[in-house]
Structure 1
């Protein structure tokens, strides 16, 4: 799971949403989507996926109304779930080298 604090909280009648937790998608959550679209951070694919894997569950209209920076943060959390331990280690080593 990955928790993201929103730069622009979402307004709901029950109270503003200031942070969103993204859970690792299971195969059922990915139904009807192409993994390549998700990994390429395709807006349409991620807009369909995020309501399935967020807590509180974001509505499609709320995803569409997200600040672009918040959408990017949530999307990066999703893509991060697809990285293997080896990929993460390589990326961290590259960062330390620079």
Structure 2
């Protein structure tokens, strides 16, 4: 769920995964900055394009997810990340319009 004050969202994974001796159950996602969007198409991110989402996630997650971890995510978890990214990218006016309609 997105916290607009800190510009962070926490994704609780439906399918946690192991990293060494640690089990990753939650991942924080930070609002991307323009430089972190380099090489990506914002429309692809808003449409939750898998390749675009996978390219952005290592740049904005804590702990930083590796390419291998992202490629092994369950689709439900990847969708959660995509929804948070999508929420970050929508202008405030669009969000307000959605909540009123």
Q: TM-score, normalised by structure 2?
A: 0.88
Q: Secondary structure at the match of 2:86?
A: helix
Question: Hey, which of these two has a bigger chunk of strand by percent?
Answer: 2
What residue in structure 1 maps to residue 25 of structure 2? 18
Structure whose alpha-carbon radius of gyration is higher: 1
Instruction: Return the alpha-carbon distance in structure 2 between the equivalents of residues 46 and 82 of structure 1.
Output: 12
Give 1:14 shift: 3.8
Instruction: Return the alpha-carbon distance in structure 1 between the equivalents of residues 92 and 52 of structure 2.
Output: 25
Give 1:89 shift: 1.3
Runs of 5+ in structure 1 lacking a partner? none
- Superposed CA offset, 1:51-96 (max 9, x none): 11000000011011111111000110001011122211111122xx
Q: Secondary structure at the match of 2:11?
A: strand
Instruction: Return the alpha-carbon distance in structure 1 between the equivalents of residues 50 and 21 of structure 2.
Output: 27
Alignment size in residue pairs: 94
Runs of 5+ in structure 2 lacking a partner? 1-7
Instruction: Select 2:69's aligned residue among 31, 55, 62.
Output: 62
Say yes or no: does 1:48 pair with 2:52.
no
Instruction: Select 2:90's aligned residue among 66, 73, 83.
Output: 83
Q: TM-score, normalised by structure 1?
A: 0.91
